[in-house]
Amino acid sequence: MSVLAYDLGAGSGRAILGHLNDRGIETREIHRFKNEPVKTGDRMHWDILRLHHEVLQGLTFIKQQGEVPESMGIDSWGVDFGLLGSNGELLGNPYHYRDTQFNGVMDTVCQEITAKRVFERTGIQFLPFNTLYQLAALKRSASPLLREAERFLMIPDLLRYFLTGEAVNEFTNATTTQLYNPVLGQWDRELLAYIGVSEQWFGDAVLPGSAVGQLRSSICHDIGLAPIPVLAVAEHDTGSAVAAVPATERSFAYLSCGTWSLMGTELDQPVISAESMELNFTNEGGAGGTYRLLKNIMGLWILQECMRQWEREGQGISYGSLLAKAETAPAFASLFDPDDALFLPSGNMTERIRQYCQKTGQRVPEDQGSIARAILESLALKYRRVLEWTEQLSEKTFGGLHMVGGGIQNELLCQWTANSIGKPVWAGPAEGSAIGNMAVQWIASGTFKDIWEARRAIRDSFPVSEYEPQDRSAWADAYERFLRITVLSPGTE
């Protein structure tokens, strides 16, 4: 009963083999690799052929270890895509959603078609890098890509296409584009027509768990593998992560914590209302007919960027040492809104944090510990705000917060999150996306009845650490200040 899950994040990817037996789910990492964007001139790309190579590398290790998975699936970050030409080959190298060519396009599109109309048709939050605005930007710059394109595939669709030769769009990732209409259950014709791309590029979106091909015979031949069925899983990594939340209650709050922090709750229907639009919440499609009412929070990206900058400047520091310094730095000295547009692009992050603090009349953090502390406290405070909004929109009250994803290895962040929200945090599993990817494969094979049976098995198989809130009054005071400061800052929300 083993299945193979590829989970690709913005910084790294992994192939994990999952095995189900009487003791529960056991996982083994088969391959881990970097995912490093490449800049050429002003453009920022994903190194898609390297990623395909790493996927094949994982299959080679599977073969070497004598494993025979029953199926495999790939999930990755959302919104980005590749276009195929008439000969079925990839046109160009997919752009990275942080590429600056997409700047400003969202505002123009939203003025022209109106933000209200876009939201009513998609239920998706306004993020400047959504596929809708990426395609509109390419149209505006008369990109030759659009003249030649015949097929549109999201990143996991594309990697799956390289493996199987079948071009198929998957539902959860399709919803991240802001071009998919969840009410009609199809790509939104009006939005496609507005940006001027052909409906023919898009195939019907298949649901997670659908069989969508098997490994090409040439790959099986080269590696020496028997054909492995390839499934569409919840191919948006956040969809897979939430499928793996080991919740016991139907109504629960989660925080998927990695490069991004995604916070919200799971529902049966999208909430497309004036209020959800005003708070800029999204309704992304999930596994098992669910929707995620959630909000993107800038997440550990800010810390990762600072670490990359220190590395470049010859002041590299390990994660562990940085967190130790953060813990002893002065508390609540410099707070900022992590979702200020200032923090979205890559490069020179420490300077931008200082700029924000200076502008808002706060202590300007200089040393590494103070900067890391400012980031983690600001994130924890923002989590409280977004959790309150989630409760307001869903008309529910949550007894605590489930945290999943690699970010939970940062115990300081888990503890401060519990302190900030004043409720317990249940952290685990760390490999949420890969495990949710497997869960969908096991549901497809009938091994699990549904997502709830899968969640029960996940709960019984992986440790969950509990963090009880501490220092309530200091955090409550800091929250009041945080709200005042973040209102002061332009560009917020």
| Contact residues for ligand LFR, defined by CB under 6 A | 9, 77-79, 97, 236-238, 258-260, 262, 296
How far, in Å, are 4, 22, 70, 453, 486 from residue 26 at the CA level? 12, 10, 15, 16, 44
Is 7 or 188 the residue whose CB approaches ligand LFR more closely? 7
* Spatial CB neighbours of 438, under 8 Å, sequence gap ≥ 6: 3, 5, 16, 18, 25, 27, 73
| Closest C-alpha among 260, 276, 228, 259 to residue 392 | 276
How far apart are CB 222 and ligand LFR at their closest, in Å?
31
Query: Please, what is the minimum distance in Å from the beta carbon of residue 58 to ligand LFR?
Result: 19
Contact 235, 74 (CB under 8 A): yes
Q: What SS3 state is found at 60?
A: helix
Catalytic residue among 80, 237, 337, 339: 237
- C-alpha 485/C-alpha 378 separation (Å) is 11
If the CB atoms of residues 187 and 260 are measured against ligand LFR, the closer one turns out to be 260
Closest CB to ligand LFR among residues 238, 334: 238
Cβ 461 to ligand LFR shortest distance, Å = 23
> Alpha-carbon torsion 479, 482, 487, 490, what sign?
negative
* Residue 115 · residue 277 · CB < 8 Å: yes
The H-assigned helical ranges of 165-271 are 171-175, 189-195, 217-223, 237-243
Which C-beta is closer to ligand LFR: that of 238 or that of 304? 238
Smallest distance from ligand LFR to CB 236, Å? 6
Give least dist CB 174 to ligand LFR, A: 13
Token couple for 8: 């690709």
What whole-number distance in Å separates Cα of residue 342 and Cα of residue 94? 24
- Nearest-approach distance from CB 266 to ligand LFR, in angstroms: 14
Collapsing DSSP to helix, strand or coil, 72 comes out as strand
Nearer to ligand LFR, 262 or 329 (CB): 262
DSSP, res 342: G
Q: Is 66 left (phi over 0), alpha (psi -120 to 50) or beta?
A: left
Residue 8 or residue 478: which is nearer to ligand LFR going by CB?
Answer: 8
237 annotated active-site: yes
Residues acting as catalytic residues: 237
